[in-house]
Amino acid sequence: MEVIPAINCLDFRSALKRIEDAEKFLKKGDWLHLDVADGIFTANKSWRNATEWANLRSKFNLEVHLMVEHPENYIEQWIAAGAGRFIVHVETITKHMARQIIARAAKRGIIEVMLSSNPHTTISRLWPYLPLFSHFQVLAVEPGLAGQKFIPVTLQKAKFLRNFAPNAKIEVDGGVVPESIKAIKKAGANVVVSGSYIFNSEKPKAAFKKLQKA
C-alpha cells in the first residue's frame, strides 16, 4: 500500500510547515498530495498558490487534487509549477473537457490525470467517464475540509473500480487511519492519502510509518 501525505492548509506558512515535516520521512521523488479547494465546489478555500509552490523547488512529485469548479483553468499553472499528477472531479467536467485536460497533460510530458468523485456520487454518474481514465480516486469524505471521518460505504466504489479496471491505480483519500487500511486493501485500492492523521500527530514520521505497516 502506497501512502501519500496530504497538504490541506489555509495559508502558505502552514503548508510550508507540513512540507518541512514531510522532508523528514519522504525521499526525493516520493509523492506529496496537495488539496486545492476553491470555496465554490467546496465549503472552504485552501492555500493554492502555484507560484509559491514552484519557488520552493520541492524534491517531491506533486499530486494536485483539484476540488474546484472549472479545473481546466488550473492545469497550466500547476504544470508550470511541476505537478506530475492531477485529480479532477466528475462533478466538475464534461467528457469533452476531460479529453482536453488529458490531452493537455500528455502534451506536457508524463503527467497522469486521475478521476475522482464525491462520496455519494453514483457509479452511473461515473460510468460514461471511466473509459477515458486509467487511474481513479475514491474520495471517502466530503470534498474540502481536512479532518473529516472516513465514510466506509465509499469502499463499494473502490471494489467496483477494481473489477472494472484490474490494473488501475486506485487511491482512497479522506479520513484514512491505520484501522481503515485493512478494509481499503480488501476493496482493491493500492494507494491511500492521509493528511490530518499524519500531520496532526506529535510525531508525523511515526504516523506515516504506522500507515505503511498497517
| Amino acid sitting at position 49 | N
Q: Residue 185, Cα to own-chain centre: how many angstroms?
A: 17
Q: Residue 139, Cα to own-chain centre: how many angstroms?
A: 8
Strand 112-116 to strand 83-89: parallel, antiparallel, or no bridges (unpaired)? parallel
Residues with Cβ < 8 Å from 104, sequence gap 6 or more? Answer: 75, 76, 79
Residue 173 annotated among the catalytic residues of the structure: yes
Residue 21 annotated among the catalytic residues of the structure: no
CB 81 within 8 A of CB 73: no
CB 29 within 8 A of CB 2: no
Q: Is 214 exposed, middle or buried (0-12, 13-18, 19+ CB in 10 A)?
A: middle
CB 42 within 8 A of CB 148: no
> How far is Cα 116 from Cα 66, in angstroms, rounded to an integer?
9
> How far is Cα 55 from Cα 116, in angstroms, rounded to an integer?
28
Residues forming the active site: 35, 173
